Structure 1
Amino acid sequence: MKKHNINHYSTYGAMKASRVTEYNKSKHRTTGMALMKVNRKNANQLLATVYSNVKQVKPAKYQVGDFVRVSKYKTIFAKRYTPNWSTEIFRIQKVQNTNPRTHLLIDQQSNPIQEGLYEQELHYVKYPEIYLVERVLKRK
């Protein structure tokens, strides 16, 4: 209150009201017009102005046909030395342009996976025909 040189509390309400009217009369960066000039007649024009600068998402990290692994869900007490990615390899069937982008997968037997997965949940497989060795059956 000392900053605005106000001696009594009753003048603060009047000053606040004048600031609000100044704000409503000023031109805004997003809308391009003052708030007092917005009405039902120019509502469509205002929506077109506001939503014309929607950010475009970056290009997809994975394309259709890429081979990927899926991240495993771990609880708090899960062992850290266990793998973070599935041993099964999937192929991307469709890239959906949602926000954030999701990917539909199919497995090696061409069975679709029911849910879409985010890019962060997928890991690109460079050599899909190479598999992990489970155990050695026989030695020479």
Structure 2
Amino acid sequence: MSKIKEDVVNEIHKPARRNFLWRRVQVRGLNDLIQADLVEMIPYARENSGYRYILVVINVFSKYVWAEAKRCMGTKVKRNIKAGLFKKGDYVRINKYREAFHKESKLYIPTTYLLADQNGQDIEGSCYGEEPQKTLHNDVYLIEKVVRRKRNKLLVKWLGLDKRHNSWIDKTDMV
């Protein structure tokens, strides 16, 4: 394996850092901030009576958590999401990495970055300083798929970029 391939593989599979400072989130009311996640359980649908998804919703203000098993996630189902699988006083597990809350008097302001792509267009949102990682080979891009072939040229779709970045490359340029 070439050095470039080895470096790209190491960058992609580098373990993510879990413990770092987060920005302060201000929640001003009961339904001000709700976090939802959809767990895909498609390989286990046969054992779960055809249920393919688990919808988990957390109300950040009241710390009320509920989950609901779903057979399919069409647009009708997404609009009619029901709440209330858990009763008041039920014990739930939120995150295996969460620890007891320790209050401190120090105020920490984590570093956050606003990112822009190579064309200078802003990327929506921001990220913490621990999330982005520096690349060793900034001229190496990953190919998601080959769209068309023409002799020794390939029209490729680049991983993580939209279709307006598709481009023709020589077969010999692939690493």
Q: Same fold (TM over 0.5)?
A: no
Instruction: Please state which structure has a larger fraction of its residues in strand.
Output: 2
What TM-score, normalized by structure 2, do the two folds share?
A: 0.22
Instruction: Please state which structure has a larger fraction of its residues in helix.
Output: 1
Identify which of structures 1 and 2 has the higher relative contact order when contacts are C-alpha pairs closer than 8 Å and 6+ apart.
Answer: 1
